Amino acid sequence: MKQLVIDAGPLIALFYAKDPQHAECVAGFEQLNASKTLVLTPIPVVFEVYKWLLQRVSLNLAQQTLEVMVTQRYTVPIQKEDLSDLQTLSKSLLGWRGSLEDAAVITIAFRYRCPVWTINYRDFSPFRALQFWVPGSF
């Protein structure tokens, strides 16, 4: 089965219709569903999406989105032992400004050996071994 790890950007764009990337992300999710691709959503990404929608849009949309993410996406928990990996990764590049959410996406992508779907590549670009998925591929 094909799988990928998703960052917060495509999820926010999917659920927030005013996002400039909304149409592209809707098409991307339709493609993933049609190809039966498993979308791995790290729990920290779930938190990030919820917080973004809560603070910038509405409590109602944040709660509706959370319901969908919990029931219709494959969420990947972060275990206590993963925290050490996240800490190591966050220290691995001098001056890297990525968040722990970014580190979780990277760690899970490497663990499952699958690509990442993101909108903002800035924090992922130092990790040359990462592969990325964009709508239209697969």
pTM of the model: 0.91
Domain regions of the chain by residue span: 3-117
Superfamily the domain 3-117 falls into: 5'-nuclease (3.40.50.1010)
Does residue 118 surpass a pLDDT of 90?
yes
pLDDT of residue 138: 64
SS3 readout for the chain? CCEEEECHHHHHHHHCCCCCCHHHHHHHHHHHHHCCCEEEEEHHHHHHHHHHHHHHCCHHHHHHHHHHHHHHCEEECCCHHHHHHHHHHHHHCCCCCCCHHHHHHHHHHHHHCCCEECCCCCCCCCCCCCCECCECEC
pLDDT of residue 46: 96
